[in-house]
Structure 1
């Protein structure tokens, strides 16, 4: 007999919804404004999202080929320029990922624009988690970074105030 069998009229029922209306809640902001190069499917496999392909050119260079038919909320076409700008912004932060610094790219990692739809990430040493880390690499447009930007307008930084 478990606890629920002992008191049948107190069996949990229904759904609890947790709401945080703060416009600076990082998950609220993230899930309503950004996408990532890759996602995880229900089985936990990495699958394309903003990227159509992620291929290692050598042990230090990861090439992302990007979708050509993606537009931000303001109508701006998503390009490799946005990937580079977002990467450089997040590289400035000490801890860009609230879930943990293991999601950070090495500080000497570079992002190079090859063309409108291709970027190369150049790592100082092989990074076997790089493609998985792309799941936590969120891409916002210039409007995002120039306005709310995870608290930049208010705090001058997007980290440390959660």
Structure 2
């Protein structure tokens, strides 16, 4: 479940760290994981897609509650290969209704929801693109060693 949605959940969990066209995620030793470092690691095309997706999602000014409900919604919507599909459908329906209720509480109109759905429909693509990143990135050759 998390394997299919790791990157979309990570984006939701860190969305507030994306602003001014960059990412401000801090690593150990006070190193900022910014757009340049991400581009070096994953390539320009993927990072441009990531930033387009993230900032499109950020434009919706989702509340903390909406973000929190989107995570289990993603997990029950964009995952496959379950043994108990009826239970997953039931969970998805519960989170979908709860998310819709939260949107209603926040006075989100149909136009807002239709546009949000368009952006959210890109979620599987983002996850697949990240899963397909070649670990042996040619830019890393002779620069990074992993001790196993």
Q: Same fold (TM over 0.5)?
A: no
TM-score by length of 1: 0.28
The structure where strand makes up a greater share of residues is: 1
User: Whose RCO is larger (CA < 8 A, sep 6+)?
Assistant: 2
TM-score by length of 2: 0.30
- Larger radius of gyration, structure 1 or 2? 1
The structure where helix makes up a greater share of residues is: 2
